[in-house]
Amino acid sequence: MIFNPSFPYRLMHMATAAFVATAFFVGASGAWHLLRGRDNAAVRRMLSMAMWMALIVAPLQAVIGDMHGLNTLKHQPAKIAAIEGHWENTDDKPTPLILFGIPDMQAEKTRFAVEIPYLGSLILTHSLDKQIPALKAFAPEDRPNSTIISWSFRIMAGLGMLMIVVGLWSLWLRKRGTLYQCRPFLYLALFMGPSGLIALLAGWFTTEVGRQPWVVYGVMRTQDAVANHSVEQLTVTLVLFVLVYFSLFGTGIGYMMRLVRKGPQPHVDHGAHGGPGQSRTPARPLSAADEEN
Ligand code: HEM
């Protein structure tokens, strides 16, 4: 299950997603401090490093995503047709790219579609005349839900594009020497703080909902993989999952926000022996965050 043909692309895409998400979270923390007038060398470095990272990894993620999509077209064509909201091929007409639209699974069409001619063929087949498989080529019971994944995909890819814009804007401001003062940019960087995490979740929705109705594509249906457990057993397990995850993530996020509020501390050199607390490892790794804040 792990070492299947999409493995290298998933690994690269997910690992890069982690770097992207971290860069934008750290960048937002730096922007927040600067917007509140807390301008020091450590805060500047925080924003600066995050934006260098964004500048490099955001375009890289789009390139890897493109390769990932081509791999999916080969191995899970129905998923790509559903992502695209592409219902049928007519004659030899190349496939357009639907920028936005609302796929209707019952009516078998994408409503209010805003299309760019040829672009679907160009992106997915790297040609101007080849077509991509359409949803109607698959039996209705073999189609993933296009309404959900066409949107989850557009949220992910749309945020990915916005991230590239932020990286490029930061470079331009850096060259002009106004990276730390440009308030519209700082507000955008702040707003983009959760963007990596949102894109990451949207990506996983695309992958998992897009895989349906198969648990192993083309081999085993999800309904055949369902274990024979009672509703009560499943309810207890689900409730436990929710409780454990909420308390674990709640505590983690609470601590992270505390670290963010405290912000990076400018380095103070206390000489060879170190000042109070400087020459020792903190008793708890997270004691870096103030207790009273
Ligand atoms: C910028 C353009 C992007 C493109 C073209 C793209 C492409 C794709 C495609 C085609 C899939 C589904 C593949 C499949 O299930 O077979 C996917 C999944 C995913 N994407 Fe993206 N993506 C982009 C941006 C991003 C960004 C910015 C993030 C997060 C920071 C992200 C995170 C993910 C994750 C976590 C998955 C699910 C795991 C996986 O299937 O690898 N993607 N992406």
Q: Please check whether residues 259 and 153 belong to one and the same domain.
A: no
**Protein residue with its CA nearest to atom 8 in ligand 1:** 65
The pTM score is 0.88
pLDDT digits (tens, 9 = 90+) for 78-101: 999 999 999 988 878 889 899 999
Collect all residues with Cβ–Cβ distance below 8 Å to 223 and sequence separation of at least 6.
213
Q: Please check whether residues 49 and 143 belong to one and the same domain.
A: yes
Residue with tokens 């055949």: 224
207 in contact with ligand 1, CB cutoff 6 A = yes
Query: Does some domain include residue 272?
Result: no
Q: Please check whether residues 145 and 261 belong to one and the same domain.
A: no
- Nearest atom in ligand 1 to the alpha carbon of residue 75 is 16
What gap in Å lies between CA 66 and CA 12, rounded to an integer?
A: 12
Q: Which residue has the higher pLDDT, 129 or 47?
A: 47
Candidate from 7, 61, 68, 198 with most ligand 1 atoms within 8 A of CB, to mutate: 68
CA gyration radius, the chain: 24
Give the H or E element holding residue 102: strand 97-104
209 in contact with ligand 1, CB cutoff 6 A = no
Q: Please check whether residues 105 and 211 belong to one and the same domain.
A: yes
What range does the domain containing 18 cover? 7-222
Mean pLDDT, the chain, integer: 90
**Protein residue with its CA nearest to atom 19 in ligand 1:** 203
- Among residues 27, 20, 53, 11, the alpha carbon closest in space to that of 157 is found at 20
Map residue 64 onto helix, strand or coil: helix
Q: Please check whether residues 143 and 255 belong to one and the same domain.
A: no
Q: Please check whether residues 123 and 218 belong to one and the same domain.
A: yes
Q: Please check whether residues 103 and 234 belong to one and the same domain.
A: no
